[in-house]
């Protein structure tokens, strides 16, 4: 949730509406961000803070000693049902609430190690065993986890460690004659089995396959830009009085070339839909799986074995190292404010974290800069933010002053003309203060002010925990946080990832149903230099907190490097795109795609076309549609077709629910009926037709009927190609799914052909270290060793 919770927004908007008009005018016409902040914060009353605290208390972010036994018990239920993934998450929730060096945390770690073992996550399992022992795992249960440790070591081929662990365990048995005879016999049998397993593996050591490692080297830029670290030497930074800073190609660029590789200056994990808890509910402990349970809160890496903060239950990390780094950089200040930050939203959280990180970049220098610039009368105007007002092909413009040519630096660059990923670059991102509504600025200012007061309270109780510069200049940092909140509406970058739930229940025959989801929100100063196009020439992807931008098509020398801010021509009609860009980014798009579609508004995109029920030709027109054929003279009203489309969409949704509940045959019959109905009024390239074919492919894949599944997915693929293009990232993901279907059906020629097509497309957008590309390469290697068995002709 980017903005504060609805209750706080409604409360502040009502407070604004009740202010005298003179005060509203004072804030609305304020010349500087500092004036906006000071005028607004003076209106924050104790009752406002009390209401905000009541909202914040709705989030369970502290450590509840009663939670670990609950989560451990719920996890055990999942474990008994062999839902090891569900059990792992529940054990992790228990760990996050347990105190260090307690029986609760050691038991949860040990139980999670068992679930991870059955998920074949042996390295993670070993780490959890070590953590359980470090936190005081009971001596009487040690042999159980030690045997599990040996199993992992043997499986990983670490035979010397396994042998030593067995010898240590035998020594412990000999030293404890009090061990019950039955228990001793069970342990002895397990030890004998493991010793035999070690001996067998030792004989196979020479043929033990090496662990596959990702080649992150391919993510490195071939030649880094001297003036824009993190960008390729193939691009250059320019300035324009109308569109500000932008990047152009300094030479011809081929599809797939890496143009930008930039780590986020700051990022905050999006925990997903997580409504505040309310008193009186049956259980206050949430068992829902969120991003916060599966991704590191610092580096955003996916993990099944999170390590929690020692002081709160909501911050979790992939390792102790990440936890310590986060603590040193910012979490030592954020930890006691978890409920407040969740209430105020991600934008406010990023604003705070940005200023906390700025402390490590010569805080006194930053503060002096803030004091000067925040009191600049023109700080709220676009002229002050676009300091260079003349176009230039280099890093600055030139102007005449007293008869001399003066070179004006580009905002965000240092004195040497270098644009770096640092707080100076973040500070110079445009807040568009003049474009935001007075109510929105008031909401942001009061939210930041409330946060500052909580920081002051924390500083007064623990004066030694904060650097003097931060404490003494908190009002200045408050102005900076307000600026960052206003910047984020136009400059926040959604960090996305591909999530791939299985279509079929079988682990061995699972088929990807990948979808792109928002994982976090971050600030990337270099990425922010790219201007928008509804049909961009680049593709953005993420690994951890690192954004990579690749050319998605050939870019000629001198051509601008363009990025899509969200409204894409393949997902939205031109009117919807213009409205979205105008309301969020404050500009009207004039890209070639928008210009072209404005002149073709009556035709509409092919993936939204209705068809004539007599001849099947696409219908054209506004409210009244016709196919243009002389034999089909009867027009049809759009208002008659829209309800049919809505009904069809509702039935497909119902079919998906049947599919989700395991009623596959009923789902298939309903989808086949929908498809028959669609043929009478929807174009074969309509997006709804593609959705139905994709749903049928999922259903048949779940039944293990790979041939029928592939047939329907190929029909869906045609719609994807029409809507997104043959070289689009969406096409790449669909080809990956089709390759899996052919692979599972042992259709070797078809699979190899599809793998090649998928690799070619995905390589352009992601590069060779992408998970799907590596999976495709594994499938290809496996198929080349099999005899050809045809699944049937491709459709």
* Concatenated DSSP letters of 429-445: S---TTTS-HHHHHHHH
Locate the DSSP E strands across 500-544.
515-523, 531-532, 538-543
Q: Which residues contact 406 (CB under 8 A, 6 or more apart)?
A: 398, 399, 400
Q: Which of 160-174, 365-379, 488-502, 662-676 has the lowest mean pLDDT?
A: 365-379
Confidence of residue 326 (pLDDT cuts 50, 70, 90): very high
Q: Which of 132-141, 471-480, 506-515 has the lowest mean pLDDT?
A: 506-515
pLDDT for 198: 54
Q: Which of 174-178, 399-403, 452-456, 596-600 has the lowest mean pLDDT?
A: 399-403
The HSE-up count of residue 159 (CA atoms within 13 Å, CB side) is: 14
Q: Which residues contact 207 (CB under 8 A, 6 or more apart)?
A: none
Q: Let me know: does 27 contact 39? Beta carbons within 8 Å.
A: yes
Q: Which of 304-308, 404-408, 779-783 has the lowest mean pLDDT?
A: 404-408
Q: How far apart are the first and last CA of the chain?
A: 43
Tell me the pLDDT tens digit for each residue of 405-438. Answer: 445 568 888 888 899 899 989 999 999 999 999 9
Mean pLDDT in residue range 324-337: 94
pLDDT for 512: 55
Q: What is the DSSP letter of 607?
A: G
Q: Which parts of 499-637 fold into alpha helices (H)?
A: 574-585, 592-598
How many distinct helices (H) and strands (E) make up the chain? 31, 17
Averaged pLDDT of the chain: 83
Confidence of residue 209 (pLDDT cuts 50, 70, 90): very low
Q: Which residues contact 633 (CB under 8 A, 6 or more apart)?
A: none
Mean pLDDT in residue range 360-383: 55
Q: Which residues of 199-234 are buried (b: 16+ CB within 10 A; e: fewer)?
A: eebbeeeeeeeeeeeeeeeebebeeebebbbbbbbb
Name the CA dihedral angle for 187, 190, 195, 199, rounded to a multiple of 10 degrees: 180
Q: Which of 202-216, 533-547, 611-625 has the lowest mean pLDDT?
A: 202-216
Mean pLDDT in residue range 74-83: 95
Q: How many CB atoms lie within 10 A of CB 787?
A: 6
CA–CA distance, 189 with 192 (Å, rounded to integer): 5
Tokens of 456: 């002051």
CA–CA distance, 637 with 786 (Å, rounded to integer): 56
Q: Which of 557, 593, 563 is nearest to 577 (CA)?
A: 593
pLDDT for 395: 39
Q: For residue 403, is pLDDT > 60? A: no
Q: What is the DSSP letter of 512?
A: B
Q: What percent of the chain has pLDDT over 90?
A: 54
Q: For residue 374, is pLDDT > 80? A: no
Tell me the pLDDT tens digit for each residue of 34-50. Answer: 999 999 999 999 999 99
pLDDT for 386: 35
Task: Name all domains of the chain by residue range, CATH numbers in brackets.
Answer: 606-785 (1.25.40.10)
pLDDT for 178: 53
pLDDT for 621: 78
Of residues 171 and 59, more confidence is placed in 59
The CA–CA distances, whole Å, from 515 to 497, 501, 671, 729, 733 equal: 8, 9, 21, 11, 9
Q: Which of 118, 46, 134 is nearest to 75 (CA)?
A: 118
- Residue 73's φ and ψ, nearest 5 degrees, are -65, -45
Mean pLDDT in residue range 144-163: 86
Tokens of 300: 């955003």
Q: For residue 653, is pLDDT > 50? A: yes
Mean pLDDT in residue range 93-114: 95
Tokens of 370: 């803030």
Task: Report pTM.
Answer: 0.85
pLDDT for 509: 43
Confidence of residue 485 (pLDDT cuts 50, 70, 90): very high
Q: Long-range contacts for 616-622 (Cβ within 8 Å, ≥24 apart)?
A: 618/683
Q: Which of 336, 289, 311, 319 is nearest to 63 (CA)?
A: 311
pLDDT for 373: 58
Q: Which of 656, 714, 648 is nearest to 681 (CA)?
A: 648
CA–CA distance, 364 with 472 (Å, rounded to integer): 11
Confidence of residue 379 (pLDDT cuts 50, 70, 90): very low
Confidence of residue 185 (pLDDT cuts 50, 70, 90): low
Of residues 238 and 184, more confidence is placed in 238
Q: For residue 388, is pLDDT > 80? A: no
CA–CA distance, 795 with 792 (Å, rounded to integer): 9
pLDDT for 617: 81
CA–CA distance, 656 with 696 (Å, rounded to integer): 10
Of residues 617 and 300, more confidence is placed in 300
CA–CA distance, 314 with 294 (Å, rounded to integer): 12
pLDDT for 429: 92
Q: Which of 431-440, 631-640, 675-684, 709-718 has the lowest mean pLDDT?
A: 631-640
Confidence of residue 383 (pLDDT cuts 50, 70, 90): very low
Burial-class residue 304 by CB neighbours within 10 Å (0-12, 13-18, 19+). Answer: buried
Q: What is the DSSP letter of 545?
A: T
Q: For residue 384, is pLDDT > 90? A: no
What strand order describes the sheet that includes 493-499?
266-269, 515-523, 493-499
């Amino acid at each position: 949730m980017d903005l504060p919770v609805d209750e706080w927004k409604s409360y502040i908007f009502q407070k604004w509406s009740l202010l005298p008009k003179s005060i509203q005018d004072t804030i609305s016409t304020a010349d500087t961000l500092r004036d906006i902040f000071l005028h607004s914060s003076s209106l924050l009353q104790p009752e406002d803070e009390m209401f905000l605290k009541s909202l914040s208390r709705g989030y369970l972010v502290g450590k509840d000693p009663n939670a670990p036994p609950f989560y451990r018990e719920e996890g055990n239920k999942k474990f008994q049902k062999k839902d090891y993934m569900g059990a792992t998450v529940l054990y992790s929730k228990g760990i996050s609430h347990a105190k260090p060096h307690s029986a609760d945390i050691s038991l949860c770690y040990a139980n999670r190690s068992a679930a991870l073992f059955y998920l074949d996550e042996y390295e993670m399992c070993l780490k959890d065993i070590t953590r359980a022992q470090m936190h005081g795992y009971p001596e009487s249960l040690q042999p159980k986890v030690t045997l599990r440790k040996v199993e992992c070591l043997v499986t990983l081929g670490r035979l010397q460690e396994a042998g030593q662990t067995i010898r240590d365990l035998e020594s412990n048995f000999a030293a404890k004659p009090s061990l019950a005879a039955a228990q001793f016999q069970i342990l002895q049998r397990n030890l004998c089995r493991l010793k035999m397993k070690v001996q067998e593996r030792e004989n196979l050591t020479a043929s033990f396959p090496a662990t596959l490692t990702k080649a992150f080297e391919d993510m490195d830029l071939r030649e880094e830009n001297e003036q824009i670290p993190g960008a390729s030497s193939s691009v250059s930074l320019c300035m324009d009085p109308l569109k500000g800073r932008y990047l152009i190609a300094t030479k011809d660029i081929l599809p797939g070339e890496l143009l930008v590789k930039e780590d986020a200056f700051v990022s905050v994990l999006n925990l997903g839909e997580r409504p505040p808890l309310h008193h009186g509910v049956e259980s206050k402990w949430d068992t829902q799986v969120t991003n916060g349970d599966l991704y590191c809160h610092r580096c955003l890496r996916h993990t099944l074995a999170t390590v929690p903060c020692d002081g709160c239950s909501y911050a979790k990390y992939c390792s102790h190292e990440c936890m310590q780094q986060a603590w040193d950089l910012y979490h030592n200040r954020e930890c006691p404010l978890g409920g407040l930050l969740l209430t105020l939203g991600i934008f406010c959280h990023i604003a705070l974290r940005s200023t906390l990180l700025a402390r490590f970049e010569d805080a006194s220098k930053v503060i002096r800069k803030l004091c000067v610039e925040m009191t600049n009368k023109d700080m709220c105007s676009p002229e002050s933010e676009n300091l260079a007002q003349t176009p230039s092909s280099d890093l600055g413009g030139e102007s005449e002053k007293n008869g001399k040519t003066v070179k004006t630096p580009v905002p965000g660059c240092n004195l040497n003309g270098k644009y770096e990923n640092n707080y100076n670059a973040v500070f110079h991102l445009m807040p568009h203060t003049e474009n935001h509504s007075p109510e929105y600025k008031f909401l942001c200012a009061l939210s930041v002010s409330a946060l500052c007061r909580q920081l002051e309270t924390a500083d007064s109780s623990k004066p030694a925990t904060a650097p003097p510069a931060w404490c003494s200049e908190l009002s200045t940092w408050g102005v900076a946080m307000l600026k960052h909140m206003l910047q984020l509406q136009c400059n926040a970058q959604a960090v996305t990832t591909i999530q791939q739930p299985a279509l079929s229940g079988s682990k061995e025959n699972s088929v990807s149903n990948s979808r792109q989801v928002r994982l976090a929100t971050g600030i990337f100063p270099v990425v922010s230099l790219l201007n928008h196009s509804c049909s961009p020439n680049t593709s953005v992807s993420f690994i951890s907190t690192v954004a990579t931008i690749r050319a998605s098509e050939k870019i000629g020398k001198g051509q601008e490097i363009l990025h899509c801010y969200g409204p894409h021509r393949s997902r939205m009609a031109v009117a919807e795109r213009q409205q979205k860009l105008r309301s969020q980014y404050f500009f009207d798009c004039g890209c070639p795609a928008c210009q072209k579609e404005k002149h073709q508004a009556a035709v509409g995109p092919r993936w939204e076309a209705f068809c004539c029920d007599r001849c099947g030709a696409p219908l054209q027109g506004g409210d009244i549609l016709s196919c243009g054929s002389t034999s089909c003279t009867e027009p049809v009203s759009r208002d008659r077709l829209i309800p049919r489309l809505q009904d069809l969409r509702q039935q497909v949704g119902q079919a998906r629910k049947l599919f989700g509940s395991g009623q596959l045959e009923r789902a298939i019959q309903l989808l086949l009926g929908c498809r028959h109905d669609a043929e009478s009024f929807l174009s074969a390239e309509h997006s709804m037709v593609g959705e139905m074919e994709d749903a049928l492919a999922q259903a048949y894949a779940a039944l293990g009927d790979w041939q029928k599944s592939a047939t329907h997915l190929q029909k869906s693929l045609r719609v994807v190609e029409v809507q997104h293009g043959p070289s689009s990232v969406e096409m790449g993901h669909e080809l990956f799914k089709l390759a899996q279907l052919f692979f599972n059906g042992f259709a070797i020629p078809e699979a190899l052909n599809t793998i090649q097509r998928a690799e070619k497309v995905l390589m352009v957008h992601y590069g060779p270290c992408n998970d799907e590309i590596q999976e495709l390469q594994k499938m290809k290697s496996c198929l080349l060793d099999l005899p050809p068995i045809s699944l049937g002709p491709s459709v």
